[in-house]
Amino acid sequence: MELIANAVPCERHLVELGRLAPELAGTVSRSSLPDTVEKELAAVEQADILVVATPVYRGSYTGLFKHFFDFIHQDALTDTPVLLAATGGSERHALVIDHQLRPLFSFFQARTLPLGVYATDKDFTDHRLHDGALTRRAALAVARALPLLQLTRHARPRWADEAIVA
């Protein structure tokens, strides 16, 4: 997996919603968000590619996850490749990728990759994947994303031009 991650030079940025929760919760407009949250939103909107992962809670992504994406500009992710991933307590939630996450990112007109990655608690040891088949699936998903990255890298988002004109 590390070989694939190093195949294309990139700057990695992790958005940890748990740390943002106190600043994000209860906010109803983007203009009211603190700078720390605004910086994370901008990082997502400007990314060349996204790996979006969420825990499953009661059959769907968490409310905090949805609340964060409610502040993303609706055209900011157009054509952005998105690798979808989720974790849950059992295999019963594996369809969250196709039934919850894919429609959300379709709204943003993002290019969701056909291969998603779903893991359960038993697939991890010390917070690292230990299941060989799952590790290979994740590596395959990343490998299939790389050609899309070349198509979209450094492209200026169309919605930014509209914001300047308006």
In a domain, 141, yes or no: yes
128 three-class SS: strand
Question: Which residues, 6 or more positions from 19, have their beta carbon under 8 angstroms from its beta carbon?
Answer: none
* Pure H helices in 10-157: 17-24, 35-45, 63-70, 96, 102-107, 132-152
Model pTM score: 0.85
What's the pLDDT tens digit per position in 36-94?
999 999 999 999 999 999 999 888 999 999 999 999 999 999 999 999 999 998 888 99
In a domain, 63, yes or no: yes
> Are 96 and 56 in contact, with CB atoms under 8 Å apart?
yes
The CATH code of the domain that includes 42 is 3.40.50.360
> Are 93 and 86 in contact, with CB atoms under 8 Å apart?
yes
57 three-class SS: strand
In a domain, 143, yes or no: yes
Beta strand pairing call for 81-88 and 50-57: parallel
Instruction: Please count the structural domains in the chain.
Output: 1
* Two tokens, residue 59: 């059959």
> Are 101 and 54 in contact, with CB atoms under 8 Å apart?
yes
In a domain, 64, yes or no: yes
What's the pLDDT tens digit per position in 79-124?
999 999 999 988 889 999 999 999 999 999 999 999 999 999 899 8
In a domain, 166, yes or no: no
